[in-house]
A and B are shown apart, each in its own frame.
Chain A
């Protein structure tokens, strides 16, 4: 066993998470919103209707409020 191995103490170094990583998370949440929640707030017309119908089973199955 190399001498540098820690003793398993509860000291854990924080990981630096830059803003760009949080922007990625926000974009990911935005996609979830579009797929599951969107009811005409962002998209309109034919695209909205198609997206809604295509993911309709998924919405209900994942427990999201639907009409």
Chain B
């Protein structure tokens, strides 16, 4: 098994980030934007009769801005993923770099996106109180930090169990159980959301937006992990590579 260099991992990470950003921005345009348009219609109906302010940024620019932001965020997160990958590669329980990259991206998705989305679900424009945004941001960011710590703990638990002579499947199961218990504890311990849904925003709109937002985040992380893993996979085909036996079809 060859060890990739740090520079090689970072370059591949940047490429994976571009791919993840493009996929996420396509999902943003096709899936999220139609729901945002419905939310803006609610906002407009609310302010009907009052003279409209000249917006600082036009709607077309905001749609484009959302897509640019998705690409920029994906590239930055992929660079972080690459640095973390290089640091913890030898601790990740997978046999190939593809498996390790997908596993690490999955842990990133759960910590950075899934757990925050379940505890503090996404809301469309037309929902939210500007006075509480500081408190909500603090809750959200601290939950992410704690979620990363839980992911690290789960990997450590698996490693300790392996060192104690547990079989590989049992050790992985122990790590998964520790991680799930940790995330559940976070969900219970962290303060509840402070967002009131205004009466004029339909429940269906809120639900559609939360699903669409999670779809964009899922597409971003899945692409990031899979592309980083593919780019780290040596391009050796044919009988010689297969005879090596150290690679499997999925790496997981």
| A interface list, Cβ under 8 A from B | 1, 5-8, 10, 12-18, 21-22, 24-25, 28-29, 31-32, 35-37, 39, 49-50, 53-67
Residues of A within 8 A of B130 (CB): 67
Cβ–Cβ contact B95 & A25, under 8 A: no
Q: Using Cβ atoms and an 8 Å threshold, which residues of chain B touch A14?
A: 89-90
By a CB distance below 8 angstroms, the chain A residues around B57 are: 50, 53-54, 56
A35 to B76 CA separation, bound complex (whole angstroms): 11
Asked if residues A57 and B66 are in contact (CB atoms below 8 Å), the reply is yes
B117 proximal to A (CB < 8 A): yes
Nearest chain A CB to B44 CB, angstrom units? 15
Contact call A17/B87, Cβ cutoff below 8 A: yes
Asked whether A15 lies within 8 Å of B76 as measured between CB atoms, the reply is no
Cα–Cα distance between A44 and B6 once the two chains are bound (Å)? 37
What is the CA–CA distance of A17 and B113 in the complex, to the nearest angstrom? 26
* Interface residue B72 (Cβ < 8 Å from any Cβ of A): yes
B77–A53 CB distance below 8 A? no
Q: How many Å lie between the Cα of A57 and that of B125 in the bound state?
A: 8
B141 close to A (CB within 8 Å): yes
Q: How far is the CA of A25 from the CA of B76 in the complex (A)?
A: 8
Closest CB-CB distance, B35 to chain A, in whole Å?
Answer: 9
Nearest CB on A from B183, distance (A): 16
- B36 at interface (Cβ–Cβ under 8 A)? yes
A31/B69 in contact, CB under 8 A? no
Tally the A-B contacts, defined by beta carbons under 8 Å. Answer: 165
Is the Cβ of B240 less than 8 Å from the Cβ of A1?
A: yes
Does B175 make an interface contact (CB < 8 A)?
Answer: no
Give the total of B residues in contact with A, Cβ under 8 Å. 67
Question: Which residues of B sit under 8 angstroms from A25, Cβ to Cβ?
Answer: 79-80, 83-84
Identify 17 new A-B residue pairs, CB closer than 8 A, beyond the known A28-B77, A61-B36, A65-B140.
A1-B244, A7-B246, A14-B90, A21-B6, A35-B69, A36-B73, A39-B134, A53-B57, A54-B68, A54-B69, A55-B68, A57-B28, A58-B69, A58-B70, A61-B213, A62-B216, A67-B128
A8-B246, A25-B84 as given contacts; A58 in contact with B67, CB under 8 Å: yes
User: B212 at interface (Cβ–Cβ under 8 A)?
Assistant: yes
Q: Report yes or no: A67 in contact with B68, Cβ–Cβ below 8 A.
A: no
Q: How far is the CB of A45 from chain B (nearest CB, A)?
A: 12
* Distance in Å: Cβ of B159 to nearest Cβ of chain A: 11
Q: Mark B1-17, 1 if CB is under 8 A from A, else 0.
A: 10111100110000000
Are A61 and B216 interface neighbours, CB within 8 A? yes
